[in-house]
Amino acid sequence: MSQFKHNLTKARSAIVFLIGLSLAFWLVYSLEKWNPEVVSSEISSKPLSKITFNSESIKPRKHRVLNAQERQWAKTAWQYFENNYVAETGLVNSADKYPAATMWDTASYMLGMISAQRLGIIDDAAFDERVSSLLKTLATMPLFEDALPNKSYNTKNVAMVTYNNDQTERGIGWSAIDVGRIMVPLNVLVWHYPKHTQAVGEVLAHWNIDALITDAELYGTAVSDAGQTQFLQEGRLGYEEYAAKSFTLVSRDVGHALDYELNMRLVEIYDIDIATDSRKPSEFGALNYVVSEPYILDGVEYGWDRYSRELSRRVFDVQRARYEQTGILTAVSEDNIDQAPYFVYNTVFADGKAWNAVTESGEDASEFRSVSTKAVLGFHALYDDDYTQRLVDYISSNYDPERGWYSGIYEASGEPNKAITANTNGIILETLHYVQFGPMMSMRSGAGSQVAEAGEN
């Protein structure tokens, strides 16, 4: 009987997912004009900061076919995925030659692959083969507590692993934010590549999406030292809203996670009000950092809504203002680095400090502050102004043509950060896709005539 109930639950998830697809076309078009109602409330007995909207006049980029240099950049990014593809599983290594993958990095690979196919860098047969292999793995992989993908997998055998890539039969928990990100390419596949719709449905039937949503918020899990499963509210301003959007496309109520003003405080930096998360790390167990990546992804994938357009512009403007005030080229985001501690959040604001650079545990990492390659190309795709061009000129050769793009350039030394990752290279492909086609989720993205034109360039 318990097995019957389990199978019924999984079937219900698939049915709900497929019903949700019928609403997706309307939802995608409405996202750009979406303006969630703000609920009046107080946090810590202080009134919420209210955002004012000054970015409505931002003109959208005029999309165009990539030039020869940009196509070479895209081919360089795709080379990473050629080098790190594991044919037996369909997975790709999250970092160069390191046989582990998270769902976030797998999503970056999928979106990079869709971009490469639309840009004519890979042909349809190779694309379909890779997609089919990956979806089969996603639909059969072991899950944390038989519910959702573990935070990391070995790319060679799809075993659940720790972040040190040590195999663990139980797993270490799931990330709601990572699952939210991988829902983006799954939705793109359904809308634009119908031959893969059934396989996507099988993935969603295997996963229990409802397990990560409680009271319209996103919850990840971890395993305590005592071996108990802990449910933790997951996501901070920017990432939380970005990840939540994909769940609305499969008819899930994530209204609290979508509300930008629910946990927002404004911090003034260079006379620009930057939106930060008001939740205290000591109380919620998560750092509150403002970085470029979620706003770039929201732009190149969804085309922004009213809030993300405004907050993104401010995050970009304050980085340009830092350059104007100090002469230091600034494009910050989180990145792998090529030395210990191996991952750093280079932020606009974190832990009460502007331009703070911290490790995942919150320790100071100022010596590793960097210009982020993916942030540069992301902002250039979205804004295309004199400052982004200056940034592009700075990082334009920051790659190994045989291995892919480096993650960045260290601010203090000017030396390249030679970490090479799926996330950096996947996002670069996404941003170049945006230059030519516009937002990834747009119904107009990837028109066949444009792909053919790109292939001839």
The contacts of residue 147 (CB under 8 Å, 6+ apart) are 174, 207, 208, 211
* Per-residue model confidence (pLDDT) at position 306: 92
Q: Where are the domains of the chain?
A: 2-456
Which pLDDT score, from 0 to 100, does residue 152 have? 98
Tokens describing residue 349: 């604001």
- CA–CA distance, 74 with 114 (Å, rounded to integer): 12
Q: Which residues contact 85 (CB under 8 A, 6 or more apart)?
A: 92, 130
pLDDT of residue 288: 85
Task: Determine the pLDDT at residue 20.
Answer: 53
The fold of 2-456 is: Glycosyltransferase (1.50.10)
Q: Is the pTM of this model over 0.85?
A: yes
Mean pLDDT per 10-residue interval, the chain, length 457 residues: 48 50 46 36 40 77 94 98 98 98 98 98 98 98 98 98 96 98 97 96 98 97 95 94 96 96 94 92 75 97 94 97 98 97 96 93 95 98 96 98 98 98 98 97 53 35
Are the CB atoms for 431 and 300 separated by under 8 Å? Answer: yes
